[in-house]
Amino acid sequence: MLNNLLSHDLPRSRWLALMLVVAVLGLALTPFIFPGTKALNVAAKVMVFIVLVASYDLLLGYTGIVSFAHTMFFGIGAYGIAIASSRMEPGWGAVAAGLGGALAASLLLSLVIGLFSLRVKAIFFAMITLAVASAFLTLASQLSDFTGGEDGLNFRVPEALSPGTEYLDEPFLGASIDGRFLSYYLLFVAVVALVLLMLRIVNSPFGRVLQAIRENEFRAEAIGYRTVVYRTLSNVLAALFATCAGALLALWLRYCGPDTSMSFEIMLDILLIVVIGGMGTIYGAVIGSVLFVLAQNYLQDLMKLGEGAVAGVPVLSQLVSPDRWLLWLGVLFVLSVYHFPTGIVGRLRLAAWARGQGSS
């Protein structure tokens, strides 16, 4: 049953399987184990990034397409929910309308970009997507009457998801059963469903063709596959999944703005996570997102503890100052790339394969 659920794409490594189990259980039990606001926000961000990074890996890891417009589709999903919820009566109807409109806009835009741009060479396609993403970021910042401009949009979510909605008078196992609790598990279920759907796509005959195009586009076309069609479909699917991730983020934050959904900093984070986790594997998005977001949010706290331990040591106290957390995050990234050139998932699977070969 598990094999079918994972589309016959098992971890193939004991350590990877253990890491995935810990990640999934940790996210599933966060409201009970770490009920604080920061922990919930970090876990929610991890789940959103899992979908966002996995959707980008459909392009980069499985099809070999480099695009800088992924955060644009992410932002379309977030703004779709925000605009519909702020202009309509708050409720599930507004959420459905916002999500439907965002998916339709992303479908049309990704199809146009794919059909008109994927015929050009990789570097030119990347530059075209960068230009389009820059234009949309500018529009989101300038159309203040529609998007809220730089301030963004605050909106109300359906009453069932509102933090003020209490379902139990007393906490259950330390967790308050309210609208925030329901929002978290709605996010969790949606992310699990989207990840399993992406696993099914990449392990289908369609996914095998995408990998063939990545390895040798000329050979894939020579044996009869219309590579432009497959590359365009990959671009569309990645855009739709990114749109869903943006919608989930907006529902969780109850806010949408250029910095939270369309900034190039998010695009950079996506690229870093793909490299850390491993390209061409959905599991890499899970492991990479967990490690990166945890480091991004808790590295400063750890450095504060370290600063207190080495207080008075002239050079060392400066090096472990919490103000230099970005420096150490960069060092950790360089070390991970050096020791895991194929990503964490690729390295673990290669090690498991080597052990299997040695034992046989």
pLDDT digits (tens, 9 = 90+) for 178-197: 888 899 999 999 999 999 99
- Asked whether 242 and 56 are in contact (CB, 8 A), the reply is yes
pLDDT for the residue 328 = 74
**Residues 312, 198: Cα–Cα separation, whole Å:** 52
Cβ 234 vs Cβ 63: under 8 Å: yes
Strand-pair partners of 175: 172
Q: Mean of the pLDDT values across residues 81-92?
A: 86
Q: Answer whether residue 360 shows pLDDT above 60.
A: no
β-bridge mates for residue 153, sequence order: 256
**For residues 256 and 140, is the Cβ–Cβ distance under 8 A?**
no
Bigger pLDDT: 316 or 272?
A: 272
Given this model, what pLDDT does residue 166 score? 78
Burial of 66 (0-12, 13-18, 19+ CB in 10 A): middle
- Which amino acid is present at 103? L
pLDDT exceeds 90 at position 105: yes
pLDDT at 26 over 80: yes
Looking at per-residue pLDDT, the higher value among 264 and 105 belongs to: 105
The Cβ of residue 143 has, within 10 Å, a number of other Cβ atoms equal to: 11
Q: How confident is the model at residue 310 (pLDDT cuts 50, 70, 90)?
A: low
The answer to whether 189 and 183 are in contact (CB under 8 A) is no
Strand spans (E) along the chain: 153-154, 255-256
pLDDT of residue 107 exceeding 60: yes
Q: DSSP 3-state assignment of 255?
A: strand
* Residue 323: per-residue pLDDT: 67
Helices and strands of the chain, counted as H and E runs: 17, 2
- pLDDT at residue 24 is higher than 80: yes
Burial class from Cβ neighbours inside 10 Å (0-12, 13-18, 19+) for residue 157 reads buried
- Which residue type occupies 94? A
pLDDT exceeding 70 applies to what percent of the chain? 91
Cα distance between residue 325 and residue 302, in whole Å: 10
Tokens matching residue 186:
């709605």
SS3 256: strand
What's residue 119's pLDDT? 67
Segment 120-167, tens digit of pLDDT? 666 777 888 888 888 888 888 888 878 888 888 888 888 888 887 777
- Work out the mean pLDDT of the chain and round it to a whole number: 84
* Closest among 291, 280, 274 to 45, alpha carbons compared: 291
Q: Rounded CA gap, 67 and 236, in Å?
A: 12
How high is the pLDDT of residue 77? 93
Residue 175, phi then psi, degrees to nearest 5:
-110, 135
Q: Which domains does the chain have, with CATH numbers?
A: 10-359 (1.10.3470)
Compute the distance between CA of residue 17 and CA of residue 20 in angstroms, rounded to an integer.
5
The Cα 296–Cα 294 span in angstroms is 5
Check residues 136 and 119 and name the one with the higher pLDDT: 136
Task: Report how far Cα 99 is from the mean position of its chain's Cα atoms.
Answer: 17
At 264, list the tokens: 């190039």
3 state DSSP class of 226: coil
pTM, entire model: 0.91
Distance CA 196, CA 323 (A): 39
